[in-house]
Structure 1
Amino acid sequence: MSTLKLHYFAVRGFGEYIRLLFVDNHINFEDVRYEIGGKEWKEMKPKMIFGHMPYLKGDGLEIVETGAIMRFLGRKFDLNGSTDEEVYFLDMFFEGSRDIRYTFSFQRTEEDYLTKTLPDGLQKLENLFKIHPGEFILGDKISYVDYSLFEELDVYHHWSKGILDNFPALKEFWERIWKRPNLKEYLEKRTADKVPLSATFEGNY
Structure 2
Amino acid sequence: MTVPQLYYFAIRGLGEYIRLLFTDNGINFEDIRFVSRSPEWKEAKMSMIFGQMPCLKHDGKEYAQTGTIMRHLARVHDLNGSTEDDATFLDMFFEGLRDCRQKYVRYIYFDEGTREDLVHKTLPDCLTNFEKLFNIHQGKFIIGDKPSYADYILFEELDVYTHLDATILDKFPSLKAFWEMMWQRPNLKAYLEKRKADGVWISVVEKGMH
Paired letter, 1:45? K
- Structure-2-length-normalised TM-score: 0.94
1:149 is the counterpart of 2:154:
yes
Unaligned runs of 5+ in 1: none
Structure 2 residue matching 1:20: 3-state secondary structure: helix
Q: Is the alpha carbon distance of 1:203 and 1:158 closer, same or farther for their aligned partners in structure 2, counting shifts above 3 Å?
A: closer
User: Post-superposition shift, 1:203?
Assistant: 6.8
- What's 2:118 paired with? 113
CA deviations on 1:120-156 (whole Å, 9 max, x unpaired) are 0000000000000110000111101100100000000
Equivalent residue for 1:158?
Answer: 163
Deviation at 1:201, TM superposition (A): 3.6
1:196, 1:203 within 8 Å by CA — same for their partners in 2? no
Structure-1-length-normalised TM-score: 0.97
CA distance in 2: counterparts of 1:192 and 1:54, whole angstroms: 24
How large is the Cα RMSD of the aligned pairs? 1.2
The C-alpha deviation readout for 1:24-75, integer Å capped at 9, x for no partner, is 1110100000001111001111111111100000112100100000000000
Give the 4+ runs in structure 1 shifted more than 3 A.
200-203
Q: Secondary structure at the match of 1:40?
A: helix
Equivalent residue, structure 2, for 1:71: 71
Correspondence for 1:33: 33
* Matched residue type, 2:137: H
Partner of 1:108, secondary structure, is coil
Secondary structure of residue in 2 paired with 1:56: strand
Aligned match of 2:45:
45
Count of matched residue pairs: 205
| Deviation, structure 1 residue 13 | 0.4
For residue 87 of structure 2, give the secondary structure of its aligned residue in structure 1. Answer: helix
**Distance (Å, rounded) in 2 between the aligned partners of 1:203 and 1:45:** 27
Take 2:209 and 2:46, find their aligned partners in 1: how far apart are those partners? 29
CA distance in 2, matches of 1:100, 1:147: 15
